[in-house]
Structure 1
């Protein structure tokens, strides 16, 4: 029985739970390690995203006989030019829209308050089911406002740590560009024989999964944000650049992100002209149909091969466990875990097949 896969998997799970249990009980002993890992996690994550985003450029340059130092210097110069272009071209209209939003915020708040008061004053004329729905929405809005205020306090308190992160990100990024081929060999060279080949294959597949996911999500987000910005400009929606930027970052979250970005756009449309809210929904629906039928299948292909329901479940679970960072990294971490489990299964299958042939 001890040689059965289910028995070994059960023992492994129990041991992992025991390790976690005792780790939590003596967490003060490991606090310096946890503090160090939590301090470098965000800059390491940001550096990794930058590396995978610019890795195709480095590959392109080095195929044309650029030495490593020249390719790194070229990438840094290109990033500096991109940041300068963003500041010169995008920041002025964004700044103007932010100033306009600050000036009109009291008016927008009054209009929203009047709309809510109108609904509440006439609620006696509504069916009971509609009143229940209104109460539920009001409770949700209140809880959302409380959570938003807490988030703003946390955001302000994290500005100092954010400066520390900005200092560390370039170091991780440049190190990855310089020595990215050395990581995997340092790991699998610790082993020998078939185990060495298995670890080498697994690390290569993990690298492929992370590259495909990060590069694909960045490209998809950029295309969708461009489509949404174009649509908002056509219908004359205010704060189009700000809403498109929000859509770009929210589209990093599969399936759920685009609909999160839809909410503020609909609110702006309702306050500007109710018909615009309808057009905002139409634009988002069209963008999502273009994404699901044309963009994602051609950009991502079947590199992750994860069912949409599984993605939504992962996002919800990761969000409850680790907040926004969990939502951001939940899907790629699941994909990495899936690669590891698949390779373990295939490795065990090969071992059994070899043992059967020897018998």
Structure 2
């Protein structure tokens, strides 16, 4: 049975959109990532404002103002309560890590089972130089810390605009399509926004759990700078698989300042925390939230890294979430004529139409 004419147009439009996405990714990847970050910010802000509006029975715009004021107060309060301490602890981590790395190398060099391997590793001084060159290449890729901060501020401002008038941007996208395609285009926007919001809620809860568990565990184990390590672990948990591995390195090196066995215990503690997060906390949170199969996550991270660099790794999962919804709606439902499957894209009747406008930037 042939697909209806409107569905065929949707399929053609999807192919054109994909080609435009890949072209923009090759021509100006930083702009594309900035637009996608803005869309994520808009989804998060509008979702929080809508939830608050339903609870307090007030308008969504007043709810958005309340959310922004609340975020500002929480940020200021957090900095006043522990900002100076966290900055001091991060400075201490930076100063302590070289000595910890030297102790780790000395210990491994003295062990028969690891001495041959260590003999082929460059000295710590050379490694430090390599790390500095690697860091310089990263900073060159993102053009400087100030550029990254400016990008974050732009994403926040654009996200606020998207959350303030989501319908305005949704209607603008709809008008890019013929009249008989606008309903399908609106449906795709709604379901992408709903899926992104669901994923963001689950990810933020998991990040908070990892940060708290890590900080408490390091404090109980009497590892230096537990607050800084907990914050770092929580932030890095935004990136599945890669983030937890990177977050464990500073803690393990600090463990070496106490003893090799303490470093081993710290590594085991991080492994246990990640197992608890991956097999208990995240499945419980995402029973009603969006989840992504592990194999797709890893492949998506590799592809995003090759296209966009480190920033692509940061946003690889939400990009994959959007791709899964597009496959579900455009191919599985429109082409194959099947309903919702394991991809789990929310049905149109289960989402708020106002959500669709906040993902417009990601489509441009």
TM-score (norm: length of structure 1): 0.75
- Aligned-residue offset at 1:290: 2.0
Which 5+ residue runs of structure 1 have no aligned equivalent?
A: 4-8, 28-33, 352-359
- Aligned-residue offset at 1:266: 0.5
Bigger relative contact order (CA 8 A; separation at least 6): 2
- Aligned-residue offset at 1:220: 0.6
Q: Distance in 1 between matches of 2:21 and 2:292?
A: 29
The 1:101/1:224 distance shift into structure 2, 3 A limit, reads closer
Q: Distance in 1 between matches of 2:259 and 2:169?
A: 55
1:347 matches 2:334: yes
1:312 to 294, 298, 303: 298
More helix by share: 1
Does the CA-based 8 Å contact 1:61-1:71 persist in structure 2? yes
Equivalent residue, structure 1, for 2:179: 192
SS state at 2:223 partner: coil
Does the CA-based 8 Å contact 1:256-1:312 persist in structure 2? no
- Aligned-residue offset at 1:78: 0.4
The 1:139/1:183 distance shift into structure 2, 3 A limit, reads farther
Equivalent residue, structure 1, for 2:74: 82
Which 5+ residue runs of structure 2 have no aligned equivalent?
A: 4-10, 339-364
The 1:147/1:330 distance shift into structure 2, 3 A limit, reads farther
Q: What does 1:191-340 align with in structure 2 at a 5 Å threshold?
A: 191-193=178-180, 195-301=181-287, 303-340=289-326
Q: What does 1:114-193 align with in structure 2 at a 5 Å threshold?
A: 115-117=104-106, 119-120=108-109, 131=116, 133-134=117-118, 138=122, 142=127, 145-151=131-137, 153-154=139-140, 158-162=144-148, 164-165=150-151, 167-188=153-174, 190-193=177-180
The 1:18/1:253 distance shift into structure 2, 3 A limit, reads closer
Q: What are the superposed Cα offsets for residues 113-159 of structure 1, whole Å, 9 maximum, x if unpaired? A: 35535655x58x668xx62x335654998396255432575399513
Does the CA-based 8 Å contact 2:47-2:197 persist in structure 1? no
Does the CA-based 8 Å contact 1:221-1:248 persist in structure 2? yes
* Greater displacement, 52-61 / 170-179: 52-61
SS state at 2:224 partner: coil
Does the CA-based 8 Å contact 1:52-1:215 persist in structure 2? no
- Aligned-residue offset at 1:20: 7.1
SS state at 1:228 partner: helix
- Aligned-residue offset at 1:260: 1.5
CA RMSD of aligned residues (A): 3.9
SS state at 1:312 partner: helix
Q: Distance in 1 between matches of 2:316 and 2:199?
A: 12
- Aligned-residue offset at 1:13: 8.4
1:53 to 27, 44, 47: 44
Q: Distance in 2 between matches of 1:19 and 1:176?
A: 20
1:95 matches 2:82: no
| Aligned residues between the structures | 324
The 1:235/1:77 distance shift into structure 2, 3 A limit, reads same
Q: Distance in 1 between matches of 2:142 and 2:182?
A: 47
